[in-house]
Amino acid sequence: MKKELREAFESEMTKAKRLYSADDLSAAFHHLERAHILGQRFYVPHVVSHWWMLKVGLKRSDLWEIFGQLMRIIASAGSLLGWVPAGNTGGANVSPIKPMPIPDDLASLLKDERAPSMIRFAFRIIAVALIASLAFVALWLLRHNQKVALIDAEWREQQEPQLANVGAVRDVTIQPLVNWHASDPTYATEAGVSYLLQADGRAILFDLGSNKGKQAPSPLEANMALFQISVDTIDSIFLSHHHFDHVGGREWAARNTFSFGVHQPKLSEKIEIFAPIPLEYPGHPVTHITAPKVIAPGIASIGPIKRQLLMGQIQEQALALHVEGKGILLVIGCGHQTLRKIVSRTKAVFDAPIFAIVGDLHYPVPDGQMTLAGVNLQRTFASGGGLFSQLTMADVEEDFDLLQSLDLELLAMGSHDTSDTVLEMAARRFPGSFQRVEVGKTIKLTE
């Protein structure tokens, strides 16, 4: 920007700021329009003029002006390429691409401005690409926040009726088959989840791990063999949600199905399959759970709970077992639903207290088990309130306050999506009830 033009721009901005301070907003906006005409071919002055127009809009509580200026601040990147409509005054009351007559006293200052050199032009192309990327991210985050707000509104309006004729079980044994830690190095471990539950003789396979390395046998199959568990001994398969680390791998998640390993075994006709979204399995029906539902005497799904994550929307259900004489045992896959919603739903649909929780609750702070190029994937994309509102230790402490209010007999936490730091916090906070979920370490609950 040449000296005369710069001085003229600064003069208009100085007048605008003084009038703004004196609350003469109409006169201030007039000088901002003149500053916009002078500075719109130069990125920083262009943004400055729109920024002060935004301030005027905010002071007037003019929603149209506020929205218009926010959009124009983003679109100011056009000045980096010389893409500006000559004479445009920059307010939200005019089209941002409309050329307009230039006042005579300003036209003389603008007539000698030269087109940018090829080097400056190339630099501007790069700058526009970066700004466009930032704008895309901003719009994506805005859309994400809108979806979060919509889901939260739906949650507040939901009124799930209490389940009737739930029944009860007397003896429950939970064998972790896949998780991050193991009680013995003989067992395979990974950032995935799978449990085998035995409830009064009924065998329920809860999730199927990750098999990220496409191993044969998979960690799940290898551990099942060590425990002498075969597919034919299973009565039910219960899928908490359809993330790859719970359905046997990315390939199966992409194909809208699940598997024990690199091949899908034929399942016995007696096996019932329960999933929170419509899924398929070769030659076998899959029951789509849409609401709290009893799936066997004393055993129920609390129903899918929707959550909008940065990685996309997820529907996750937890398994609830009504243990006679004790109350509700919750088995949780990832905890994407949030502990507060899980507890709220459980209290709404069961006429019994929660006395035990087993599973992963998704506390990847300060770090999770999945990283890429130094980015904590579980914390950034699969938990918290968004890119700029990630899960914190304070959030974990709030959840621990909720757990403490439940007066649990057992809190067994997994570590495929929760850090060892948080597990150590839980051990200190719940010395009488806490234990780590480890492959090979059986969890028993009886009446």
Superfamily of domain 158-446, CATH level 4: Ribonuclease Z/Hydroxyacylglutathione hydrolase-like (3.60.15.10)
Amino acid identity of 53?
M
- What value does the mean pLDDT of the chain take? 90
143 falls in which pLDDT band (50, 70, 90)?
confident
Look at 22-26, 78-82, 413-417 and tell me which has the smallest mean pLDDT.
Answer: 78-82
Write the DSSP string, 20-32.
Answer: HHTT-HHHHHHHH
Coil, helix or strand at residue 323: strand
Rounded to an integer, what is the distance from CA 313 to the centroid of its chain?
8
pLDDT (tens digit per residue) in 326-374:
999 999 999 999 999 999 999 999 999 999 999 999 999 888 777 776 7
Coil, helix or strand at residue 129: helix
> Which residues does 30 contact at the CB level (< 8 Å), separation at least 6?
none
Amino acid identity of 296?
A
Q: Token pair for residue 407?
A: 């007066």
Q: 333, 144 in Cβ contact below 8 A? A: no
Cα-based angle 193, 196, 294 (whole degrees, multiple of 5): 100
pTM, 2 dp: 0.72
Q: Token pair for residue 374?
A: 């130094």
Q: Is the sign of the CA dihedral 306, 308, 314, 317 positive or negative?
A: negative
The CA-based diameter of the chain, rounded to the nearest angstrom, is 91
Rounded CA-CA distance 234/197 in Å is: 10
Is the peptide bond prior to 366 cis by the omega test (within 30 degrees of 0)? yes
Task: Answer yes or no: is pLDDT of 113 > 60.
Answer: no
Domain boundaries, the chain: 3-114, 158-446
Q: 218, 260 in Cβ contact below 8 A? A: yes
